[in-house]
A = this chain, B = another copy of it.
Amino acid sequence: MMIGRLNHVAIVVPDLEAATKLYRDTLGAEVSSPKDQPDHGVTTVFVELPNSKIEFLHPLGENSPVAKFLERNPAGGIHHLCYEVDDIYAARDRLLADGLRILGDDEPKIGAHGKPVLFLHPKDFNGTLVEIEQV
């Protein structure tokens, strides 16, 4: 396998408006409007950098996958990195063959960008939650 671009860095934020203001007004970056993603339990905002993206995540609804993260990190924090791959099944098979753990049932799911994704176990990746996304 070969990982490609760093698609985005996801940051859980306690206040989407404040984070938007900081990145748009102080840092001067292009920032999207918030988008509720009820299927994923998050509201997302994207910061468009010239070469990559920052994805702000804020809990939406009950059982949000980022609610506990925000409880443990009330100021927010980096949640995951996302690398692009050409073929998510080939990537999965290579990761499993090398003894790395995939979260869930090893089957790609449709992620917040409408593309197949897998999340890899942070303990196998230097304490970093890694998402791989087929592009």
Q: Which residues of A contact B (CB under 8 A)?
A: 1-6, 9, 11-14, 19, 22-23, 25-29, 49-52, 54, 56, 73, 75-78, 81, 83, 94-95, 98, 100, 122-128
Flag if B1 contacts A126 (CB, 8 Å).
no
A25 cross-chain contacts in B, Cβ below 8 A: 98
Chain B residues whose C-beta falls within 8 Å of the C-beta of A29 in the assembled complex: 2-3
Given contacts A9-B81, A12-B127, A78-B127, 10 further A-B contacts (CB under 8 A): A3-B27, A3-B29, A4-B50, A5-B49, A5-B52, A6-B49, A12-B126, A13-B126, A75-B123, A75-B126
Contact A26 B94 (CB under 8 A): yes
- State how many copies of this chain the complex holds: 2
A100 touches B26 (CB 8 A): yes
Known: A6-B51, A9-B9, A28-B1. A78 touches B81 (CB 8 A): yes
CB distance from A95 to the nearest CB of B (A): 7
Complex CA gap A81/B56 in Å reads: 14
Contact (Cβ within 8 A) A6 B52 = yes
Which residues of B sit under 8 angstroms from A27, Cβ to Cβ? 1-3, 83
